[in-house]
Amino acid sequence: MSETNLQDWVGRSATATETADGERATRLATLLGHDGDKAAPLFPLGHWLHFSEDDVPMSELGADGHAALGGFMPPVPLPRRMWAGSDLTFHAPILPGQSIERTTTIESITEKTGSTGPLCFVVLRHEITADGTLATTDGHTIVYREATEAPAGSAAKPPREDSPAPEGWDWVKSVRPNEVTLFRYSALTFNSHRIHYDYPYVTEVEGYPGLVTHGPLTATLLLDAFMSTHPEAVVREYRFTAKSPLFVNEQIHLVGRETEPGIHELQAIAPGGKTAIAATVTMKN
């Protein structure tokens, strides 16, 4: 795929330090429809509100709005990127005001060929400490793919029609993220990826039918729905895989069921019944 040996980037590490921000935590709570508490522990995925990859000078952003590749991240010669999934373990809560440090290591880089052409999977391991105590480990997989050619406006389509809530689950919650939801989440995470806010770009350049709902936003909505229906649960592990994209103003069914004691299967289901995100929650004993 490239004359550059991408494997030279495997094993590289970088460390960043911030202060856990209670204000950001309350804004995430507002986004999720809850009352915020600046003194409460961060939502289990609250570290995603910190350490933004796109927090670089404007001159260092790529055409898609993300930080350009070739520095810490390998110069993958494929221009389209998506969050493919995460494997998280929560060791200890993070409290507002604590010093949080994230050490990121590139664990693997795998080049494949799929039905849409070349793909490249980059797996990162984030270790987040709070005041020196390990709080979260986050295995984050990014997938890169080739660009798709889309004549101007040809990909633009209205949101897919709603479908009935699926049966056979212990609980179902339905949500419909709109443009304001996507804007607020991008602002909270300082995510400048244009597929989430630039309609001409996402439809005419990347070939999607509409603004793409952030994968981590959907994963956050899914975990929040689980925690809302299990208020006494303490989550130890959360694993999710993105199966297909979701788009702004589409109805998403968030569903879950217990598969064995302390283990729950979760899904975010797109219009038409297709699984957009498949996830597993394991609770602490």
Domain containing residue 112: CATH number? 3.10.129.10
Number of domains within the chain: 2
**N residues, the chain:** 285
Q: What is the mean pLDDT of residues 130-144?
A: 98
Query: Is residue 205 predicted with pLDDT exceeding 70?
Result: yes
pLDDT at 2: 46
With pLDDT > 90 as the criterion, what percentage of the chain qualifies? 87
User: Are both 46 and 133 inside the same structural domain?
Assistant: yes
Query: Is residue 153 predicted with pLDDT exceeding 60?
Result: no
User: Are both 120 and 181 inside the same structural domain?
Assistant: no
User: Are both 154 and 265 inside the same structural domain?
Assistant: yes
The letter for the amino acid at 123 is V
- Comparing C-alpha atoms, which of 174, 232, 182 is closest to residue 210? 182
pLDDT at 70: 84
Containing 29, the helix (H) or strand (E) segment is helix 22-31
pLDDT at 154: 63
- Nearest-10 Cα torsion for 264, 259, 86, 233: 20
pLDDT at 142: 97
Query: Is residue 1 predicted with pLDDT exceeding 60?
Result: no
User: Are both 1 and 130 inside the same structural domain?
Assistant: yes
Q: Find the range with the poorest average confidence among 73-82, 220-229, 250-259.
A: 73-82
Of 147, 174, 207, the one marking the end of a domain is: 147
pLDDT at 20: 97
Containing 23, the helix (H) or strand (E) segment is helix 22-31
Of 147, 180, 200, the one marking the end of a domain is: 147
User: Are both 128 and 167 inside the same structural domain?
Assistant: no
- Comparing C-alpha atoms, which of 19, 170, 156, 2 is closest to residue 95? 19
User: Are both 52 and 122 inside the same structural domain?
Assistant: yes
Of 115, 147, 179, the one marking the end of a domain is: 147
Distance CA 33, CA 81 (A): 29
User: Are both 109 and 163 inside the same structural domain?
Assistant: no
- Supply the range of the domain harboring residue 254: 149-285
Distance CA 260, CA 21 (A): 36
User: Are both 159 and 64 inside the same structural domain?
Assistant: no
Distance CA 118, CA 261 (A): 40
Mean pLDDT, the chain, integer: 94
pLDDT at 41: 94
Q: What is the mean pLDDT of residues 124-140?
A: 98
User: Are both 215 and 92 inside the same structural domain?
Assistant: no
User: Are both 87 and 129 inside the same structural domain?
Assistant: yes
DSSP H helical segments within 138-234, as ranges? 179-189, 199-200, 215-229
pLDDT digits (tens, 9 = 90+) for 39-83: 899 999 999 999 999 999 999 999 999 999 888 999 999 999 999
User: Are both 138 and 189 inside the same structural domain?
Assistant: no
Which is it for strands 13-19 and 80-90: parallel, antiparallel or unpaired?
A: unpaired
User: Are both 140 and 253 inside the same structural domain?
Assistant: no
